[in-house]
Amino acid sequence: MSVYVPPFRVDLRQWCAWSGSEWDKIRDVVGHGFRLMGPNQSVYTMAANAVLRLIERFDVDPSRVRFLALGTESSTDNSAGAIIVKGMVDTALRAKDFPPLSRNCEVPEFKHACLGGVYALKSALRFLATDGPEDLAIVVCADKALYARGSSGEPTQGAGAVAMLLGANPGLVSIDLRAAGTASDYRGVDFRKPLVSRTRVNGSVMSLDIPIYNGRYSTNCYVDEIQRALEDMYRRRGLDAIEYIRSVDAVFMHRPYQRMPETGWGLAYLFALAQGSERDRDELAGYCRGAGLDVADVIREMRSEPELGQLAVAERIAEDIFPLSLAILKVFRKSEAFARYVRGKMLLGADYMQELGNLYTGALPAWLAAGFSDASERGLDLAGQEVLALGYGSGDAADAIPMRVVSGWEQAAARIRVAEALEGSTDLTAEQYAALREGTSPDGLTLRASAEFIIERVGNDTGHAFQDDGIEYYRYVH
């Protein structure tokens, strides 16, 4: 794996001072900072930077790469996708006297909100299993997460790219998709980016990068779909839910902000208690008593199958689908079991993730990369352990993918170097942040590019003989 993030950082403590927000709350719920792209950067340059870094750092033979997939929800070209990344990488490889990526390389793009990268990963695994077991595949997830100024989503922004190398002889983990679980259901107004004119603010059309979303409803969708994917995995593997949750060695989830995965995995634990033994249900009953609720009512709610589509209307959008479960979650958060089985399963890479913000399709891969970097730096022994990756994409779909850490993983993990990817950042001032958000070049801020791709210029020719209006031209800075 390899990680690229732009150098322009928003310190959330400073952002709280600009915006009048509560730092203690933002720190505990969201994190410490996030990154923004500069004026001469794009989703494609970030993706190419991550892919080239992956090839060089892991001594990959480019000619063996016959599958290059881009997972993103922030692409800006409705025709081309991963081929743009391939073009940049090939140019840089040739300049370095390396062979380019295979001319017989497939170049698909995958989009399903934040799950697009997971779908790209699964497609790459299927390609290797059927078309080319002797070949290599690369999946890169690249995104920018932007929210309206003053909205609840503003502190959860971010930008970056994560590239993953896949092959028959993995260096980090092995994956068997027959053991994975999946779920999907249409959720209407959960989180959308319609291309047609939609929300208007002061008479202006809102940027297409800014999503239409409904916060509490989106949380409901996340919790429900993660649970459905887990239940599918339990069934396919014949697992006892609560025993699995207690025994899995580490958990990595889609992470729009720090508190969200804790909520999703915490509720998964409580739901598993309801399906467990008499002792497990007694534990659940204890949390219910702490919340002043009857355990029978809570279990009945947990066993229901709410139709979230019915809540996708203005009159009901703020309703919770599992209000009793959320009430006992507050009690559960204060327990030793929560510290051990929820927060304790998510410790790997957690400090790094406080700095990365939301990377949409890259959020889960970034946490995996951060987790393995962290484990390598701490000298942990993970060989043979099972880690669980839980992907989620608004709209609505989720995947639960178990992964087995392979022997010798330390060598690959040591090359990820997430700490190095985070170095050299520049904290933005309030004025510089505002300028970047408005799409202008901030005073006193330049990208000191080194060994990376930038946008050299954007075409504007609309003539009959030649057209390149809006097309980005790239350059690799050695």
Query: What CA–CA distance (Å, rounded) separates 111 from 115?
Result: 8
Integer Cα distance of 377 and 393 in angstroms? 31
For 101, the token pair is 């990526």
d(CA 113, CA 282): 39
* Residues 245, 229: Cα–Cα separation, whole Å: 14
The per-residue pLDDT for 240 is 98
Whether domain 2-477 has CATH 3.40.47.10: the reply is yes
Domain locations in the chain as residue ranges? 2-477
Phi, psi for 227 (deg, rounded to 5): -65, -40
Per-position b or e across 22-51, b if 16+ CB within 10 A of its CB: eeeebeeebbbbbbbbbbbbbbbbbbbbbb
> What is d(CA 321, CA 272) in angstroms, rounded to the nearest whole number?
17
Phi, psi dihedrals of residue 66, rounded to the nearest 5° = -115, 10
Spatial distance between the Cα atoms of 269 and 324, rounded to a whole number of angstroms: 15
Kindly report the number of other CB atoms within 10 A of residue 183's CB atom.
20
d(CA 239, CA 341): 17
Give the pLDDT of residue 334.
97
**What amino acid occupies position 7?**
P
pLDDT tens-digit map of 162-209: 999 999 999 999 999 999 999 999 988 899 888 765 555 555 556 778
In the block, which residue shows the tokens 């043979």? 384
253-300 pLDDT per residue, tens = 999 999 999 999 999 999 999 999 999 999 999 999 999 999 999 999
| pLDDT on residue 443 | 84
Give the span between the Cα atoms of 224 and 72, in whole angstroms: 23
- Contacts of residue 244, Cβ cutoff 8 Å, sequence gap at least 6: 234, 272
List the chain pLDDT tens, one digit each, 478 residues. 999 999 999 999 999 999 999 999 999 999 999 999 998 999 999 999 999 999 999 999 999 999 999 999 999 999 999 999 999 999 999 999 999 999 999 999 999 999 999 999 999 999 999 998 899 999 999 999 999 999 999 999 999 999 999 999 999 999 999 999 999 999 888 998 887 655 555 555 567 788 888 888 999 999 999 999 999 999 999 999 999 999 999 999 999 999 999 999 999 999 999 999 999 999 999 999 999 999 999 999 999 988 888 888 999 999 999 999 999 999 999 999 999 999 999 999 999 999 999 999 999 999 999 999 999 999 999 999 999 999 999 989 999 999 999 999 999 999 999 999 999 999 999 999 999 998 888 888 887 888 999 999 999 999 999 999 999 999 999 9
